[in-house]
Every structure is written in structure tokens, then in C-alpha cells.
């Protein structure tokens, strides 16, 4: 048994207390009036919050086939350094994870290499959208549809009849679809009309909001027709946010994710720094960024995700047309969002703010994707816990990047809030003071 004491962020609010841990689970949560049982070691968080382990439901850890960009050793070290103890991995690997067998093979490759627990999104094979009807939701928590493609997402499901089949099949098996909702056909038209982009100033205009709006409208129509539960990933524009909120208000089972990068950067940054913030969907303007932040403060978003999608420096320094979209972010997500939240509303009560971060990054994704034992500090839950110092101010530099790619779009940022220690199932997996990691024995949640 061991105990962790501090300002616990629980579903009932923030309060000073103690978590007692036994066999990797939370045995009890109590206040500090009772004595610690004799012989039980105590970790004191002091001025730090004790958060439930955070969940990043959107990572690309690149196994199998793309491990020159990222692997589970590096990716999961980045995760625990960012307070993340559970990740959900995306299927656009080589080969793509289109079948239960592919996921079982992937889990075998990860075994003994991951500091974090993990679950999978299965890919929807454009050739076999009907296969979703028989999906085993134990093997895959949800099914990912790329409505538009790009360098690392070659398998696109954009044919209207195939989309209709996929949504109908998913509704039948009760699986949630998660979507990269952009209309690639519109982008092809624009590329053909305008020709090669001359520089990053031209990038957002070639991957504009119209692509996202058209696709989100299509998703809403399919949800209306079939009743399929749909989660739109990495929403980038004000209009898409309004559309999904309106559909939700009308009672449709559609939700959305926001990423750290769409909250942290604008198209002016892409113009300045280039490939580092070249993303799909593209990062848009200040008005969009403000609208997305409103969806954070108002908790209209269901989840936050990093879309951790590293590429090598060599890949990112190709021409504008050839440089792949994506950035690392699992390590940066919680601190970047916390930093943004404190800067945008410095007068807000910190306990209220941290409660929101935990709902968006722990209990929210646990509930949406059905991850029992995750996302809450409550008796019986897995003892995934993070000591998070909310007022620590520090500068993020390339030397601190844990991702295999070795760079970050957040280099040079002055961060507010720092992860001091991370525990997964009661075992310490990260200590910022020593730089030590724990055992890479994270489990597949199935
Ligand atoms: O920017 C992106 N990169 N968006 C995606 O949808 C996929 C990702 C990747 O895999 O590189
Ligand atoms: Zn992604």
C-alpha cells in the first residue's frame, strides 16, 4: 500500500485529501483527518494538484511501419511527461489497422514497450465499410474514418454510398465513428486551379474551412439518417463548432474534439514558422481560435486530443506541397491548454479551471470511449495519478522533447503549470525532478 496526499481533483470538486493505493487501484479516498496506516509510505504533493491520469484519445504512435517518425518507447515517455497515462492510437500505420487481427498484431508489437495503458481506434477500410457491422468493440473502442487524405492518411472513405454504408453499419453494431471530416475533393479542385503553393502564406487558403464545413454538414446528415454516434476530430473553424453545437442541441449524437495546436496557434504562426504548424486540418485565424476557446471554457467540446503526429525534420523540410502535416503534442497538450486557460482568464478560480481540464482530458474521454477504471479519482478506479504544479513557470525547449522526432512547435513557449510526477496503476512512471521513467508494462485496455 502507498498514499498520495495533496489537493485532489475529484468528481465532487477540489479538496485536500489522501488517495490510498493498493494493487494498482485506488483503495480509498479520504480527508487528512485520519492517520495514515502505519508503515504506509506517503508521497506529499504539497502545492500541487493530484489529477486523475489524463487520457489522450488521439495519438499516432506510428507502429507498425512508420517507426522512423515515432515509436512506443518515445511516444509513451512523451505521454507520461505530459501527465497522460492512457492513449488511444490511430490506425493510419503501414499496414493500416483495418481488422481485429491487425490490432492484435499491433498490441503484440507494443507489449513491453509502453509506459502508458492504451486502446485502439480501428480503421474503416474504404473497400469494406460494411465490416463495421461486425466490429468487436472490445478490440477497438471506435472506428476512424478519413473523409479526406494526405501523406500519412492514404485510405480515404469519401464515396457517398460507402459513407452511407459505414454509418449504417456502425449504427447496427453500436460503435462510435471518429472522423477526419474534410472534403478532399474540394481541396483537389483548389490545388488544380491554383497550382503549387508558393509558401506557407498560401497553405491555409488551399486547405480552407469550406472543406471542413462541407464534411461536417455531411456527417450531421448521416447521423440524422442513421442515428450513428459520431465524434468529429480536430475541429478547426468557428462555423464547424457552431454546426456541431446546433446538431447536439437538436438531440443528435454528435460530439467534437479540440486539439492543443488549434487552440495554441493561428495561421499567422504557420506563415512565420512554416512546416511545424502545417496541419490537417489547417490552423486557422484568430476568430476561429477564439471560438474554439469558447468551446473549451463552455465545455461544448467532449474531449481534447493532441493528434500527436510526429514527422522527422527531414520530412518537414521538404517543399510546401510535399511536407507532411502533423506535429508531436502528447507531451505538450495539458500544459499548453492550461497555459492558455490561465492567460485567457487569469482571474478565474484555479480550482474551477483545473476541474474543467480534468473533465475534458480525463472523465470526458473515459466516458465517451468507455474506458472503465480510467479518468476519475474514486475508490476502485485504477491508481493513475498526476502531480501537477499549477503555478510553476518554465520554458519549454527542444532538449525537453521526448518524442523521437526531437522537435516541437512549442519550443520557446513559457509554460504555466508543470507535471511533477506521474503514476500509472500506482507505480511511478515519470519523475520530472530526476528524469526517471518507470517500467514499460502498460496494458491494452480491451
Ligand atoms: O496533421 C495530421 N497528421 N492530420 C491527420 O489527420 C493525420 C496526421 C498524421 O498521421 O500525420
Ligand atoms: Zn490524427
Whether residue 37 sits in one domain with residue 133: no
Question: What would the grid cell of residue 81 be?
Answer: 511527461
The pLDDT, as a whole number, for residue 151 is 82
446 assigned to some structural domain: no
Atom 3 (ligand 1): residue with closest C-alpha?
326
pLDDT digits (tens, 9 = 90+) for 100-112: 999 999 999 999 9
153 assigned to some structural domain: yes
The pLDDT, as a whole number, for residue 154 is 81
Whether residue 175 sits in one domain with residue 87: yes
The pLDDT, as a whole number, for residue 170 is 97
Q: How confident is the model at residue 89 (pLDDT cuts 50, 70, 90)?
A: very high
Mean pLDDT score across all residues of the chain: 97
- Give mean pLDDT, residues 353-378: 98
- Which residues form the domain of 34? 2-50+379-437
Ligand 1 pocket residue status of 328, Cβ below 6 Å: no
Rounded CA-CA distance 374/442 in Å is 13
- The last residue of a domain, from among 339, 369, 399: 369
285 assigned to some structural domain: yes
pLDDT digits (tens, 9 = 90+) for 228-238: 999 999 999 99
Residues marked as catalytic: 307
Taking 90 as the threshold, does the pLDDT of residue 93 lie above it? yes
Whether residue 161 sits in one domain with residue 139: yes
374 assigned to some structural domain: no
Whether residue 43 sits in one domain with residue 76: no
Among candidate residues 316, 307, 339, the one with its CA nearest the CA of residue 270: 316
Residue 352's CB: how many other CB atoms inside 10 A? 11
Atom 2 (ligand 1): residue with closest C-alpha?
326
Whether residue 110 sits in one domain with residue 89: yes
- Give mean pLDDT, residues 360-384: 98
Domain count, the chain: 2
Ligand 1 pocket residue status of 354, Cβ below 6 Å: no
339 assigned to some structural domain: yes
CATH at residue 29: 2.30.40.10
Candidates 59, 148, 152: which one to mutate for ligand 1, based on the most atoms within 8 Å of Cβ?
A: 152
- The last residue of a domain, from among 369, 393, 413: 369
Ligand 1 pocket residue status of 279, Cβ below 6 Å: yes
Taking 90 as the threshold, does the pLDDT of residue 300 lie above it? yes
Whether residue 398 sits in one domain with residue 283: no
442 assigned to some structural domain: no
Ligand nearest to the CA of 182: 1
> From start to end of 246-401, where are the E strands?
254-259, 303-305, 385-395
Q: How far is the CA of 312 from the centre of ligand 1 (A)?
A: 13
The pLDDT, as a whole number, for residue 198 is 86
The pLDDT, as a whole number, for residue 62 is 98
Taking 90 as the threshold, does the pLDDT of residue 343 lie above it? yes
Rounded CA-CA distance 141/138 in Å is 7
> From start to end of 75-186, where are the E strands?
84-89, 117-123, 142-146, 176-180
The pLDDT, as a whole number, for residue 303 is 98
- The last residue of a domain, from among 369, 395, 417: 369
Candidates 309, 311, 322: which one to mutate for ligand 1, based on the most atoms within 8 Å of Cβ?
A: 309
247 assigned to some structural domain: yes
The pLDDT, as a whole number, for residue 406 is 98
Buried b (16+ CB within 10 A) or exposed e, 169-205: bbbeeebbbbbbbbbbebbeebeeeeeebeebeebbe
Taking 90 as the threshold, does the pLDDT of residue 138 lie above it? no
CATH at residue 306: 3.20.20.140
The pLDDT, as a whole number, for residue 213 is 98
- Give mean pLDDT, residues 11-15: 96
Taking 90 as the threshold, does the pLDDT of residue 311 lie above it? yes
Ligand nearest to the CA of 88: 2
21 assigned to some structural domain: yes
Contacting residues for 3 by C-beta, under 8 A, at least 6 apart: 18, 19, 20, 21, 36, 40, 41, 42, 43
Question: What would the grid cell of residue 11 be?
Answer: 468528481
Whether residue 166 sits in one domain with residue 66: yes
pLDDT digits (tens, 9 = 90+) for 32-45: 999 999 999 999 99
Whether residue 279 sits in one domain with residue 297: yes
**CA dihedral over 3, 415, 328, 88, signed as positive or negative:** positive
Residue with cell 471542413: 212
pLDDT digits (tens, 9 = 90+) for 316-334: 999 998 999 999 999 999 9
Taking 90 as the threshold, does the pLDDT of residue 153 lie above it? no
Ligand nearest to the CA of 70: 1
Whether residue 353 sits in one domain with residue 300: yes
- Give mean pLDDT, residues 243-253: 98
Atom 5 (ligand 1): residue with closest C-alpha?
280
pLDDT digits (tens, 9 = 90+) for 189-227: 999 999 888 899 989 999 999 999 999 999 999 999 999
Whether residue 251 sits in one domain with residue 110: yes
pLDDT digits (tens, 9 = 90+) for 395-431: 999 999 999 999 999 999 999 999 999 999 999 999 9
The pLDDT, as a whole number, for residue 114 is 98
Q: How confident is the model at residue 150 (pLDDT cuts 50, 70, 90)?
A: confident
Whether residue 322 sits in one domain with residue 234: yes
Taking 90 as the threshold, does the pLDDT of residue 137 lie above it? no
Taking 90 as the threshold, does the pLDDT of residue 2 lie above it? yes
Whether residue 433 sits in one domain with residue 287: no
The pLDDT, as a whole number, for residue 196 is 83
Rounded CA-CA distance 89/91 in Å is 7
Whether the CB-CB separation of 388 and 418 falls below 8 Å is answered with: yes
The pLDDT, as a whole number, for residue 164 is 98
Amino acid at each position: 500500500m502507498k498514499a498520495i496526499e495533496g489537493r485532489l481533483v475529484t468528481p465532487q470538486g477540489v479538496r485536500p485529501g489522501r488517495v490510498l493505493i493498493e494493487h494498482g487501484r485506488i483503495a480509498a479516498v479520504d480527508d487528512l483527518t485520519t492517520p495514515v496506516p502505519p508503515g504506509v509510505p506517503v508521497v506529499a504533493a504539497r502545492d500541487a494538484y493530484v489529477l486523475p491520469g489524463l487520457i489522450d484519445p488521439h495519438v499516432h504512435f506510428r507502429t507498425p511501419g512508420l517507426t522512423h517518425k515515432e515509436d512506443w518507447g518515445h511516444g509513451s515517455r512523451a505521454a507520461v511527461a505530459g501527465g497522460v497515462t492512457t492513449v488511444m492510437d490511430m490506425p493510419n500505420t503501414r499496414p493500416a489497422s483495418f481488422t481485429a487481427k491487425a490490432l492484435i498484431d499491433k498490441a503484440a508489437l507494443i507489449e513491453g514497450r509502453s509506459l502508458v495503458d492504451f486502446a485502439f481506434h480501428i480503421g474503416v477500410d474504404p473497400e469494406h465499410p460494411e465490416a463495421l457491422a461486425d466490429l468487436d468493440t472490445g478490440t477497438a473502442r471506435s472506428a476512424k474514418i478519413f473523409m479526406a487524405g494526405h501523406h500519412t492518411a492514404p485510405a480515404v472513405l469519401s464515396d457517398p454510398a460507402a459513407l452511407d454504408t459505414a454509418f449504417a453499419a456502425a449504427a447496427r453494431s453500436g460503435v462510435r465513428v471518429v472522423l477526419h471530416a474534410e472534403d478532399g475533393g474540394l481541396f483537389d479542385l483548389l490545388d488544380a486551379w491554383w497550382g503549387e503553393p508558393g509558401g506557407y502564406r498560401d497553405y491555409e487558403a488551399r486547405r480552407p474551412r469550406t472543406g471542413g464545413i462541407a464534411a461536417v454538414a455531411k456527417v450531421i446528415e448521416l447521423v440524422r439518417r442513421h442515428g450513428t454516434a459520431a465524434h468529429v476530430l480536430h475541429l478547426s473553424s468557428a462555423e464547424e463548432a457552431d454546426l456541431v453545437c446546433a446538431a447536439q442541441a437538436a438531440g443528435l449524437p454528435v460530439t467534437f474534439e479540440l486539439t492543443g495546436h488549434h487552440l495554441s496557434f493561428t495561421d499567422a504562426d504557420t506563415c512565420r514558422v512554416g512546416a511545424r504548424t502545417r496541419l490537417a486540418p489547417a490552423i486557422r485565424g484568430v476568430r476561429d481560435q477564439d471560438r474554439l476557446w469558447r468551446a473549451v471554457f463552455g465545455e461544448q467540446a467532449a474531449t481534447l486530443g493532441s493528434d500527436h503526429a510526429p514527422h522527422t525534420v527531414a520530412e518537414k523540410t521538404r517543399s510546401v506541397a510535399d511536407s507532411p502535416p502533423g506535429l508531436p503534442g502528447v507531451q505538450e497538450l495539458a500544459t499548453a491548454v492550461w497555459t492558455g486557460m490561465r492567460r485567457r482568464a487569469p482571474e478565474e478560480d484555479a480550482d474551477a479551471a483545473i476541474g474543467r481540464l480534468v473533465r475534458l482530458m480525463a472523465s470526458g474521454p473515459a466516458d465517451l470511449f468507455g474506458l472503465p477504471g480510467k479518468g476519475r479519482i474514486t475508490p476502485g478506479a485504477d491508481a493513475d495519478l498526476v502531480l501537477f504544479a499549477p503555478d510553476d513557470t518554465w520554458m519549454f525547449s527542444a532538449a525537453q522533447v521526448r518524442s523521437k522526432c526531437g522537435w516541437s512547435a512549442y519550443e520557446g513557449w513559457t509554460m504555466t503549470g508543470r507535471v511533477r510526477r506521474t503514476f500509472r496503476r500506482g507505480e511511478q512512471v515519470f519523475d520530472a525532478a530526476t528524469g526517471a521513467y518507470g517500467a514499460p508494462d502498460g496494458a491494452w485496455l480491451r
